[in-house]
Amino acid sequence: MEKTAKLKINDSMYELPILEGTEGEIGVDISSLRAQSGVITLDKGFKNTGSTKSAITFLNGEEGILRYRGYSIEELSSKSSFLEVAFLLIYGELPTKEELSEFTNEISSHTLVHEDVKSILDGFPSRAHPMGVLSSLVSSLTAFYPKSLDPNRSVEEINGTIIRLIAKLPTLAAWSYKNRMRQPIMYPQNKLDYTSNFLHMMFGLPTSDSEVNPIIAKALDQLLILHADHEQNCSASTVRIVGSSHASLYASVSAGIAALWGPLHGGANQAVIEMLENIRNQGGDVSKFVEKAKDKSDPFRLMGFGHRVYKNFDPRAKIIKKAADDVLGQLGINDPVLDLAMKLEEVALKDEYFVQRGLYPNVDFYSGIIYRALGIPTDMFTVMFALGRLPGWIAQWKEMRENKEPIGRPRQIYTGHRNRGYIDISKR
Ligand code: MLT
């Protein structure tokens, strides 16, 4: 017997199906509400509204659980690799040895981009933020692969697009950085693994084979795993809704990059380091800024603390915090800004004001610290987030298209003028 929710509106009663997810989550399916009653629901920011059913990622904000296709991020970040996790998210199962080898080789053979991309890149001034450049370059891929625009493409052709995007995003990301630095671009060295190849294109020497620090490459690979998906976050929802109009994967991911750029989403890791540098530049008194953060009349806000979904702790932050400690120790890094971060973390974790409000250091607090330690420039932090989130965006787009979900078209509550007659300009 189907469970239903009963909704009384004025003198009418309506019944709506109750859905239960794999982990016991309960939802009310309101798909038929407007047809039954003419009434819609309103939920600004959709924080209480599910947009879809998905089998990709499960998270529990109260218990701090995050799993990709049922596997915990704790296990995946310590035992797997980013490309293996990308395969898992996109195709639903961990690959066999042969499948992973083929996937990796396919990606390695598509890392180059058309030489004309350089002409597009050259059109950007050096002050252009790498996220804006990256979003544009990803969208430009539709020009070089016009068949990707066909909404009725075969599974094989869609897979080709998936491989190309995973292969080329590190190249485009590194080139966005080189444009910022006004340095010559570096071409991929396909004998290197995925993260080492990216580091080579970012920092490698044009004259010789790059010596990529394995500590840095491994830490980066783990960071990319921890950012790979996060169910229906802002950028994943953007990719889904753009894809729901049957726009290409390139166009949908380009839109996802734009959504991630915002400081309330992926831009938070850049904002953390800028906040810490500001504290350092103003004397480094952490306690003073903690008090400012508590003062409602003070505009200063602590970036990198708390999370809209996790109520007690961000499971990714726990893993990245340990990785940050390991990397800073192994690389022997002494950075006053990073020392400030550790002081701020210590104060916040003990202060009742932050503890009561669930304002604990989140994934963005520690990822900014570790990216800085890895030598990644601040305005490339969100680009790193995009590199990690790509498999999640692809998986969400693919699931939405395979499930033949309808075009996203929310309704509204109208609050504007009632009908009124046009007034000639001479009489206004
Ligand atoms: C993410 O990983 O996308 C961020 O934590 C934001 C979110 O999930 O809303």
**What's the 3-state SS for 123-150?**
CCCCCCCHHHHHHHHHHHHHHHCHHHHC
Residue 16: give its domain's CATH number.
2.20.28.60
The answer to whether position 56 is within a domain reads: no
Mutation pick for ligand 1 pocket among 66, 230, 314, 381 (CB with most ligand atoms within 8 Å): 230
Shared-domain flag, residues 111 and 32? no
Shared-domain flag, residues 216 and 133? yes
Mutation pick for ligand 1 pocket among 60, 65, 265 (CB with most ligand atoms within 8 Å): 265
Residue 361: give its domain's CATH number.
1.10.580.10
The answer to whether position 127 is within a domain reads: yes
pLDDT at 312: 83
Who's near 395: CB < 8 A, 6+ residues apart? 56, 89, 90, 229
The answer to whether position 294 is within a domain reads: yes
Q: 348 with 359: CB under 8 angstroms?
A: yes
What is the dihedral angle through the alpha carbons of 361, 362, 366, 367, rounded to the nearest 10 degrees?
-160
Position in ligand 1 atom list of the atom nearest CA 385: 2
Catalytic residue, chosen from 193, 229, 314, 364, is: 364
Mutation pick for ligand 1 pocket among 65, 224, 308, 319 (CB with most ligand atoms within 8 Å): 308
**Which pTM was predicted?**
0.94
Shared-domain flag, residues 39 and 174? no
The answer to whether position 114 is within a domain reads: yes
Look up 307 and say whether it is catalytic.
Answer: yes
Q: How far is the CA of 367 from the centre of ligand 1 (A)?
A: 13
pLDDT at 324: 86
Catalytic residue, chosen from 307, 326, 335, 351, is: 307
Which residues in 216-255 are b (16+ Cβ under 10 Å) and which e?
A: bbbbbbbbbbbbbbbbbbbbbbbbbbbbbeebbbbbbbbb
Shared-domain flag, residues 247 and 386? yes
If you search the block for the tokens 């959709």, which residue do you land on? 46
Ligand 1 site residues (CB inside 6 A) read 230, 233, 265, 308-309
Q: How far is CA 378 from the centre of its chain?
A: 17
Shared-domain flag, residues 120 and 36? no
pLDDT at 208: 56
Shared-domain flag, residues 10 and 127? no
Q: How far is the CA of 306 from the centre of ligand 1 (A)?
A: 11
Domain carrying residue 25: 4-50
Q: 16 with 8: CB under 8 angstroms?
A: no
Please list the ranges in the chain whose pLDDT falls under 50: none
For residue 326, give the 3-state DSSP assignment.
Answer: helix
Measured CA distances, 413 to 13, 40, 177 (Å): 22, 8, 43
Position in ligand 1 atom list of the atom nearest CA 235: 3
Question: Which residue has its alpha carbon closest to ligand 1 atom 7?
Answer: 233
Question: Which residue has its alpha carbon closest to ligand 1 atom 1?
Answer: 230
3-state helix, strand, coil split of the chain in percent (to 5) is: 55, 5, 40
Shared-domain flag, residues 181 and 288? yes
Residues paired with residue 9 on neighbouring β-strands, in sequence order: 12
The answer to whether position 416 is within a domain reads: no
Total domains, the chain: 2
Shared-domain flag, residues 221 and 356? yes
Look up 129 and say whether it is catalytic.
Answer: no
